[in-house]
Amino acid sequence: MGRIGIINTETVEYAVPILLPYIEDSDKVIRGYAAWALGEMGALEAVNKLEKLKKDNSRIIFYENGDLKEKTIGEIAINALKKLLK
């Protein structure tokens, strides 16, 4: 969703309200990728929920720049916030 949302604003308008609840999911992988996608889509309505994730130390394997990396949900949330609050 994050990659598609960058090029298709109609997708963003449709997907953000659906994706937003997943940022609080009990599954750390879902939570992390939801945070990433919302940042990629420019979902300003996610800022408050992303702020709450900044201290989430749950670790997931995350695909970034062609590599798999281990990241915390907090790191992903902070990066998403940086994109949203430029």
What pLDDT is recorded for position 6? 59
DSSP H or E stretch at residue 17: helix 9-19
* CA distances in angstroms from 64 to 13, 14, 49, 53, 80, listed in the order given: 25, 25, 22, 19, 13
C-alpha closest to that of 4 among 51, 32, 42: 42
Note down the domain range covering 49.
Answer: 2-84
Per the structure, the count of domains in the chain is 1
- The pLDDT tens digits of the residues spanning 8-53 come to 666 677 788 999 999 999 999 999 999 999 998 889 999 999 999 9
Exposure string for 46-85, b = 16+ CB within 10 A, e = fewer: beebbeebeebeeebebeeeeeeeebbbbbbbbbbbeebe
Amino acid at 13: E
pLDDT above 60 (res 5): no
